[in-house]
Chains A and B, each alone.
Chain A
Amino acid sequence: MIALLGLVVGVVAGLFFEPSVPVALQPYLPIAVVAALDATFGAFRALLDDIFDEKVFVVSFVSNVLVAGLIVYLGDQLGVGSQLSTGVVVVLGIRIFSNAAAIRRHLLHA
């Protein structure tokens, strides 16, 4: 319940304050958001599997974001930033899809 509330509060705050993204963070923010989404979907699936653990969620959330940012940073340093970001987004997208499928099976039995 609090988690849902937090999500809503975050979205509202982002829309309300309309802060501009710092230049240094601009390449990383989209990837970080996708990585966090992946962690969130994984957590939701774990919740439905009845194996949810807050600590695991926090660690996976933070590490997902950090690793995604690290990969993008590395890619930028190596000169393959855009391709590597695309790769990260694809991988995370696949994971989000499979997690979403598991969630669907739990909730809809289909």
Chain B
Amino acid sequence: MPDHPSTPDPVPEPATGPATGSGSGPVRHTEPVHDRRETSRTSARSGREVLLTALRRRPGRGQTVAGVLLALLGFAAAVQVNAVNSDTPYAGTRRDDLVQLLQTLSAAQDRSSRQLAELRATRDSLVASTDQRAAALEEAQAQLEAVQVLAGTVGVAGPGVVITIDDPTDSVSSLELLNAIQELRDAGAEAIEINDTARVVAQTAVGDGTSLSDGRLTVGSETVTAPYVIEAIGNPDTLSAAVAFRGGLTDDVEVVGGTVTVDTPDEVRITSLAPEAETDFVQPST
């Protein structure tokens, strides 16, 4: 604010001129002031003296009116301050401002609910993909078990038959054994083992050993000797029927002088494992 600190009491102040020019208390006195101020300056009443005089002045009607007005002012100011500081912060807010506030808030709410919906969708898709992964994992696990059973790389157990071929004359050859394996497979045997040592899988070959009729046969890489005990897991009834039917394994073996016993225990355990199959040449064709 333009100010004249060095001049002690300039009378017609340009800085305060506009302030008194438009309708407040001293306005009407602006014109008469000049003359009186010129004289009052000679009488040299300072502001403090005037103030003290005013404070000591005897109460009159005008003073009372001024006091009432000031009381009104103080009352209104206190009320307004209270209203602004009250618990409801928007009580004194203008309607336009309230409308704008409301619009801002509802826009913010829209934004928030959109974000909420997006996040929910993300969460749902993540949960779904987790479920899918779990299902795929379970599927893969089941396939792995089935393939392991087929490849003979795990021990298995289940209902089935135990076929014992006694061969006192050492005349059972690979032909009869292969026949027996084929019959069992035909009847739906899921896992076959011979003499607790040789697991019969897809790659297993059956041979006659070094010489015919020495009571030794080869099954895969294992050598088996009589009596040959064939354990097979599958439906026991079907398997035993496949062994016993006319012209089947029992007849074949009895022709060459052996005997066949079929036993159906509650549980057949196959513990021997086939050697890990390694593939050098074969590749999956697409």
Contact = CB atoms under 8 A, between A and B. Distances in A.
A83 B39 CA distance: 45
A10 B71 contact: yes
A47 interface: yes
A39 B92 CA distance: 24
A52 B60 CA distance: 14
Nearest to A94: B19
Contact residues on B (Cβ < 8 Å of other chain), bracket: 35 or more
A33 B13 contact: no
Contacts of B67: 2-7
Interface string B54-79: 11110111111111111111111111
B210 interface: no
Interface of A (DSSP majority class) = helix
A2 B60 CA distance: 9
B246 interface: no
Contact of A51 (B36, B77, B82): B36
B66 A43 contact: yes
Interface in B261-284: none
Interface in A38-68: 38-40, 42-43, 45-58, 60-64, 67
A33 B62 contact: no
B66 A97 contact: no
Interface stretch (B22-30, B104-112, B252-260): B22-30
Contacts of A42: 19-20, 24-27
Interface in A85-110: 85, 94-95, 97-99, 101-103, 105-107, 109-110
B57 A1 contact: yes
B26 A45 contact: yes
B122 interface: no
Interface of B: 1, 3, 5, 8-9, 13, 15-16, 18-20, 22-29, 32-33, 36-37, 40, 45-48, 50-51, 54-57, 59-83, 91-92, 94, 96-97
Given A4-B67, A60-B24, 11 more contacts: A4-B70, A26-B83, A33-B80, A37-B73, A40-B73, A47-B51, A50-B45, A51-B33, A82-B96, A95-B19, A109-B9
The 10 closest A-B pairs by CB, nearest first: A14-B78, A54-B62, A10-B74, A106-B47, A6-B67, A10-B71, A42-B25, A98-B19, A42-B24, A6-B71
